[in-house]
Structure 1
Amino acid sequence: MNLHSSRSRITLARAAYSALAWAVQPLLRRKLRRRAVAEPGYAEQVPERFGHYMPETWGQDGRGQWVWVHAVSLGETRAAAILLQALRQKMPSMRLLLTHNTATGRAEGQKLLQEGDVQVWVPWDTLAATRAFVAQFRPAVGVLMETEIWPNLIASCAEASVPLALANARLNAKSEAGALRMAPLSRPAYAALSAVWAQTEADAQRLRNVGAKVDAVLGNLKFDVQPDAAQLARAGQWRKDLSLPVLLFASSREGEEAQLLAELKKNPQALQAVQWLIVPRHPQRFDAVAQLCADAGFAVSRRSQWDHGLPQPEGAVWIGDSLGEMPLYYGLADVALMGGSFEPLGGQNLIESLACGTSVVLGPHTFNFSEVSDLAVLSGAALRSADMAAAVQQALALVQSPQARMAAETSARDLLQQHRGAAEATAEAVLQLMLR
């Protein structure tokens, strides 16, 4: 294929994508209205999603100064929090422009704001909206967290000479294959990034394959996590009142709670020997998971109803229906099953659990976090199970073995120590990108 033909394909792909992004805007508005029924945050500042940012002074006041960080959802926002702490140490007067796609990410991001900072929705990826966003704020630098690639947003930044980096970058094999299928659209977007800082060498190679110029492999920001000390202290106080060890199902996803409840019904000992605590990944499912437990015949006690400390166990399944309290839940637990890994969903990040000193049992599906999961299993900081039945048995065995839990905690502490430093390195890379 000659160069002219290749450029024509790229132009056509971008034009078709832009036309589609423009055409589906009414569907996006309808989707936001539906989501807002369960999560009112989706009804906030809807015009921002289409490039209308008010008040006008937001853009004028900090033009050319904003350090823009985009964290799509909850997990990316928690990674951004680690980076922001390092950035503020290097730039104490930094003005932050923080953007998100999801209501959970936005709610978590509000905790990171300081005086003079601004939080808005990232625009839908039309040419008009992305150009309006860049013109309004004119960031000094932009940092996309982990996986966020939006062709028109990246192109609008390039047009305006706004340096844009992909930080804590990761790309699994499935996403790589998808990007390669859409190469006329995705390859120019990756290539237009000013910098890419990968988590691992495997991520770096996949990113190179799809067109990114990888500047460095800086590690995973989440290894630098420092769990909330106040929440861990509260968990320590509450643990004194527990009559049973706590087994946590952390960040559970749809279909996985049903697997666990089926195991508990088949194995009454698994219910009687420990206190079960289920924390769904997505807040819009809190009510549904509580109802699922009740329909299965289990008594239910919800975190939102714990007015004065913990309720008594008495056979109830606890539901962690709150946001921002994972350190509390991990601190309460002796062992955690990691959600997202018992259905083919790719798992969840287990680093926060390890940092809280909680033993971890993984399911078979961890492709979104394959390297850290493999490292944890190889080091003895985590166990891997073939299915939910095996995971419950392994978790119960861990609960009954303080020595095994202590060994896993020691391995986790060593693993975290070996891989820290990404926050400092990434913050320095952002600073150098601004100075280019």
Structure 2
Amino acid sequence: MAPLIPVLYDLATWAAQPLLRRKLRRRGGAEPGYLQAVDERFGRYGAAPARPQPTAGAPLVWIHAVSLGETRAAAIVLPQLRAQWPGMRLLLTHGTATGRAEGARLLAPGDVQLWQPWDTRAATRRFVQAYRPDIGVLMETEVWPNLVRACTDVGMPLVLANARLSAKSLRGAQRTAGLLPAAYRALTAVYAQTEPDAARFRTLGVPTVEVLGNLKFDAQPAAPLLALGRRWRDAAPSRPVLMLASSREGEELAFFKQIRAAAPAESAQAAINSIVNWPQWLVVPRHPQRFDAVADLAAQQGLSVSRRSQWGTGAPQAADLWLGDSLGEMAAYYALADVALLGGSFEPLGGQNLIEAAACGCPVVMGPHTFNFSQAAEQALAAGAALRVADLAQGLQAAQALAGDAPRRQAMADAGRAFARQHQGAAARTAAALQLLWQGAR
């Protein structure tokens, strides 16, 4: 059966192309970015820009950053790459509209941005033949069997950078009867975030694995965003601001119900009016396509909502709930909040990145599910920058207690900043490793 798995995979990806086009049309109704340059997803480049031309002695570097988080990680290492290769050109690919919108900010003159090709043999081969990158960098987790095969068939060095692999993902890869393990083994190198990640990649047979750290520690919160968050805070009512940060589906409704359950009055508005130091609640959903749905959920629970998109250049408007419905402003939200509950950690979703919160000096309360960022979560706990609780109800209790304990909150904020500084350096190490790889391939 095992030799048939790649054949069945090829048939499945080929047969799924009409379904993919239908999905893109459906998603494009809410996010028009998905309707842009659809043919690129199928390896058709008639209307796409031509291959970028680096200067002599510099490479065309292809970076694949599937979505928003991976694109932001790429943004951290890219200045290092441009510094060591002044004449390089960038080929940047994505899978989501939010990733592509964010990635457009990273382009320099002569760079090209495309959609990731759907993982059929034909589309991936056309991609490689059309653009012929000198070196490929897949960010974090994005290993697609046919895409890897198309690169290795032409001898292109291909690495997985800022790489992470949870125990759950390892088990999933091992169940593919050699399909994904073969793709991992074909990579030139894996630059892992942590030693546990590296050990799991070695279990899959990856021949070259180095632990270079997590690029996200090198991200510096933008000073204008921190200042914006502080201005919002100064203009807000003098009560604690508690944020559910990067929330995922299922968590918001539970969060709103917990708020209602904790209120000693029949309506949420009456509760807020009657309780001294009742928190100002803030929710920032992880995915922008869910902003409207989260606002509707809050309204269904009897909560009034003030959306960031309505504030303009002014202050937050009075409401039971503030909704952070903007992109690229997480540092401002962390500066606004007294405490952040970590989204993705209160449902079995693996948690979201807590490093930015720590770097901004915002104490973190996280739930039991942090397997996507397990080492960073444990390190933050050990550093005193975060707390762990068993469930959302305990999380709300812990966050409110912490909000009322200014000395402890300040100690956690200071510990978070120190924790973030302590683990910096992955960007320089990653750029240096790619430099050595490029030199060896020439």
CA distance in 2, matches of 1:398, 1:425: 37
CA distance in 2, matches of 1:217, 1:56: 36
Aligned residue among 244, 247, 250 for 1:249: 244
Aligned residue among 66, 70, 94 for 1:72: 66
Please report how far the alpha carbon of residue 73 of structure 1 lies from its aligned counterpart in structure 2 after TM superposition.
0.8
Aligned residue among 130, 140, 152 for 2:146: 152
Aligned residue among 241, 244, 259 for 1:264: 259
Q: Does the 8 Å CA contact 2:52/2:60 hold for their aligned counterparts?
A: no
Q: Does the 8 Å CA contact 1:207/1:214 hold for their aligned counterparts?
A: no
Moved runs in structure 1, 4+ residues, more than 6 A? none
Structure 2 counterpart SS, 1:58: coil
1:265-414 alignment to 2 at 5 Å? Answer: 265-268=260-263, 272=275, 273-313=278-318, 315-414=319-418
Please report how far the alpha carbon of residue 348 of structure 1 lies from its aligned counterpart in structure 2 after TM superposition.
0.3
Aligned residue among 416, 421, 424 for 2:420: 416
**2:82 alignment partner in structure 1:** 88
Unaligned runs of 5+ in 1: 1-7
CA distance in 1, matches of 2:427, 2:184: 23
Q: Does the 8 Å CA contact 1:60/1:136 hold for their aligned counterparts?
A: no
Question: How high is the TM-score relative to the length of structure 1?
Answer: 0.94
Q: Does the 8 Å CA contact 2:62/2:136 hold for their aligned counterparts?
A: yes
Please report how far the alpha carbon of residue 20 of structure 1 lies from its aligned counterpart in structure 2 after TM superposition.
1.2
**How has the CA–CA distance of structure 1 residues 239 and 122 changed in structure 2, closer, same or farther, with 3 Å as cutoff?**
same
Q: Does the 8 Å CA contact 1:183/1:210 hold for their aligned counterparts?
A: no
Question: Could you say what the CA RMSD is over the residues aligned between the two structures, in angstroms?
Answer: 1.7
**How has the CA–CA distance of structure 1 residues 321 and 56 changed in structure 2, closer, same or farther, with 3 Å as cutoff?**
closer
Please report how far the alpha carbon of residue 262 of structure 1 lies from its aligned counterpart in structure 2 after TM superposition.
1.0
Match of 2:143, as an amino acid? I
Number of aligned pairs?
427
Please report how far the alpha carbon of residue 56 of structure 1 lies from its aligned counterpart in structure 2 after TM superposition.
6.1
Please report how far the alpha carbon of residue 119 of structure 1 lies from its aligned counterpart in structure 2 after TM superposition.
0.7
Please report how far the alpha carbon of residue 74 of structure 1 lies from its aligned counterpart in structure 2 after TM superposition.
1.0
Match of 2:387, as an amino acid? L
Please report how far the alpha carbon of residue 245 of structure 1 lies from its aligned counterpart in structure 2 after TM superposition.
2.6
CA distance in 2, matches of 1:301, 1:234: 17
Corresponding position: 1:37 with 2:29: yes
Please report how far the alpha carbon of residue 311 of structure 1 lies from its aligned counterpart in structure 2 after TM superposition.
2.9
**How has the CA–CA distance of structure 1 residues 57 and 107 changed in structure 2, closer, same or farther, with 3 Å as cutoff?**
closer
Structure 2 counterpart SS, 1:250: strand
Please report how far the alpha carbon of residue 54 of structure 1 lies from its aligned counterpart in structure 2 after TM superposition.
3.9
**How has the CA–CA distance of structure 1 residues 65 and 57 changed in structure 2, closer, same or farther, with 3 Å as cutoff?**
farther
CA distance in 1, matches of 2:317, 2:288: 24
Match of 1:268, as an amino acid? A
**1:111 alignment partner in structure 2:** 105
**2:267 alignment partner in structure 1:** none
Corresponding position: 1:59 with 2:29: no
Q: Which moved more, 1:270-279 or 1:417-426?
A: 270-279
Structure 2 counterpart SS, 1:216: strand
Unaligned runs of 5+ in 2: 265-270
Structure 2 counterpart SS, 1:59: coil
Q: Does the 8 Å CA contact 1:145/1:167 hold for their aligned counterparts?
A: yes
Corresponding position: 1:229 with 2:229: no
Please report how far the alpha carbon of residue 424 of structure 1 lies from its aligned counterpart in structure 2 after TM superposition.
0.3
Structure 1 counterpart SS, 2:344: coil
**How has the CA–CA distance of structure 1 residues 247 and 57 changed in structure 2, closer, same or farther, with 3 Å as cutoff?**
closer
Match of 1:99, as an amino acid? T
CA distance in 2, matches of 1:9, 1:339: 38
Please report how far the alpha carbon of residue 420 of structure 1 lies from its aligned counterpart in structure 2 after TM superposition.
0.9
**Identity between Structure 1 and Structure 2 (%):** 57
Corresponding position: 1:196 with 2:200: no
Please report how far the alpha carbon of residue 55 of structure 1 lies from its aligned counterpart in structure 2 after TM superposition.
4.2
Q: Does the 8 Å CA contact 1:294/1:300 hold for their aligned counterparts?
A: yes
CA distance in 2, matches of 1:93, 1:54: 26
Match of 1:275, as an amino acid? Q
CA distance in 2, matches of 1:201, 1:334: 33
CA distance in 2, matches of 1:350, 1:57: 37
